[in-house]
Amino acid sequence: MIAAIDAQTIVDALGLGAVYALMAVGIGLVFGVLRLVNFAYGQIVMAGAYTLAFTSQADWPTWAGIGTCFLVCVVLSALMDRLVFRPLRTQSPAVMLVTTFAVAFLLQNVALLIDVRDGTIGEPAASVASLNRAVTVWGVEIRKVSIVAVVVAIVALGLLALLLTRTRIGLQMRAAATDFGTARLLGVRANTVIGVAVLLSALLAGAVAVILTVQNPLVTPDFALKDTIIVLVGVVVGGIDRLWTAMLGGFAIGFVTGVINGALPTDKTVFLPSVVFLLVILVLVIRPEGLFARGRTSLVERL
Partner 1 sequence: MSRRLDDTVQLLAPVLLVVATAIVGSFTSRATEIYFLTAVLSVAIVVAIYVFVGNSGVLSFGQISFVAVGAFAAGVMTIPLESKTGVLPDLYPLLRDHTIGNFSSLVLAAVVGGLFAFLVAVPLMRLSGLAAGIATFAVLEITHNLLREWTKIGPGATTLALVPETTDLFQAAIGTVVVIVIAFAYQRSRFGRSLRATREDPAAARAVGIDVHRQRLWAFTLSGTLAGLAGGLYVHMLGSITADQVYLELTFITLAMLVIGGVSSLWGAVVGALAVSGLDSFLSEAEQGVGVGFTIDLPQGARLVILGTLMAAVLVLRPSGITGGREFSLPRRRRSAPAAAPAPEGGAQ
Residue numbers of the site for partner 1 (CB under 8 A)?
37, 83-84, 87-88, 91-95, 97-99, 101-103, 105-106, 109-110, 112-113, 116-117, 119-121, 229, 232-233, 236, 240, 270-271, 273-274, 277-278, 280-281, 284-285, 288, 299-303
Say which amino acid occupies 51. Answer: T
- 88 vs 163 by CB, closer to partner 1: 88
CA gap 112, 105 in Å, rounded: 11
Q: Nearer to partner 1 by C-beta: 88 or 171?
A: 88
CB of 95 vs partner 1, minimal distance in Å: 6
Exposure string (b/e) for 259-279, b if CB count within 10 Å is 16 or more? bbebbeeeeeeeeeeeebeee
Beta carbon nearer to partner 1, 167 or 277? 277
Smallest gap from Cβ 247 to partner 1, in A, equals: 18
Q: Shortest Cβ distance from residue 280 to partner 1 (Å)?
A: 5
Nearer to partner 1, 128 or 236 (CB): 236
- Report phi then psi at 287, rounded to 5: -130, 70
Strand partners, 136: 141
CA distance 145 to 164: 28
DSSP assignment, residue 296? P
CB-based burial of residue 25 (10 Å sphere; 0-12 exposed, 13-18 middle, 19+ buried)? buried
Give me the least distance between CB of 138 and partner 1, in Å please: 38
Q: How far is the CB of 211 from partner 1 (least distance, A)?
A: 25
Closer of 185 and 285 to partner 1 (Cβ): 285
Answer whether 240's CB lies under 8 Å from 28's CB: yes
Q: Are strands 134-137 and 140-143 parallel, antiparallel or unpaired?
A: antiparallel
